[in-house]
Amino acid sequence: MDKIIVKMKKEVREKVVEICNSFNNQPGELINVLHKTQDFLGYLPAEVQELIAECLHIPTAKVYGVVSFYAFFTMTPKGKYPVSVCLGTACYVRGAEKILDAFKKELNLEVGQTSEDGLFSLNCLRCVGACGLAPVAMVGDKVYGRLTPADVKGIVDEYRNLEANA
């Protein structure tokens, strides 16, 4: 099979190789390599997976198999302000679906999408551990609790204003 032509910046390539080296290119460290790479790059595009496969001497299919298996790994870049709505059971019974619908409407995004300007992305997650504040949503690392659908616009505007004043 022909290899995918690797299109990535030199520094990205060097950094990924460096990460693989730091784990001695051990196939058993694949998940740790992917964690470090995603920390650095924000996501795991196909060409990066190809490169990791090459470094660890394993088939690309195996890398892709692991990336697609775990929910934490993503192949699409997240927005500058990633919105995650908790759909854990505690939040679900306190109306998390309505919060999610409100975010969908306000951001005009479906779950898993990133806005064209790269500012917002919308995702679901399972349990932040702040069930006392249910329903909960996160923007980046900040947790917003005891939400009602009416709060959603204010939260999004907070970041829009931040961007407008930047």
Least separation in angstroms between residue 13's CB and other proteins is 22
Residue 147 contacts other proteins per CB under 8 A:
no
Contact 48, 13 (CB under 8 A): no
In the complex, what is the shortest distance from the CB of residue 36 to other proteins, in angstroms, rounded to a whole number?
A: 10
Judged by beta carbon, residue 75 or residue 93, the one nearer other proteins is 93
Among 136, 139, 155, 156, which residue sits at the site for other proteins (rule: CB under 8 A)? 136
Q: Which of 61, 75, 93, 162 binds other proteins (CB under 8 A)?
A: 93
Q: Which is nearer to other proteins, 80 or 98 (CB)?
A: 98
Which residues neighbour 72 within 8 Å (Cβ) at sequence distance 6 or greater?
35, 38
Smallest distance from other proteins to CB 90, Å: 3
Q: Which lies closer to other proteins via its Cβ, residue 66 or residue 122?
A: 66
CB 43 within 8 A of CB 76: yes
* Minimal distance, residue 31 CB to other proteins, in Å: 5
Q: How far is the CB of 23 from other proteins (least distance, A)?
A: 10
Contacts to other proteins from residues 27-56, by CB under 8 A: 27-32, 34-35
Is there a contact between 159 and 119 (Cβ–Cβ < 8 Å)?
yes
Which residue ranges make up the site for other proteins (CB under 8 A)? 26-32, 34-35, 65-66, 69-73, 87-90, 92-94, 125-134, 136, 143, 145
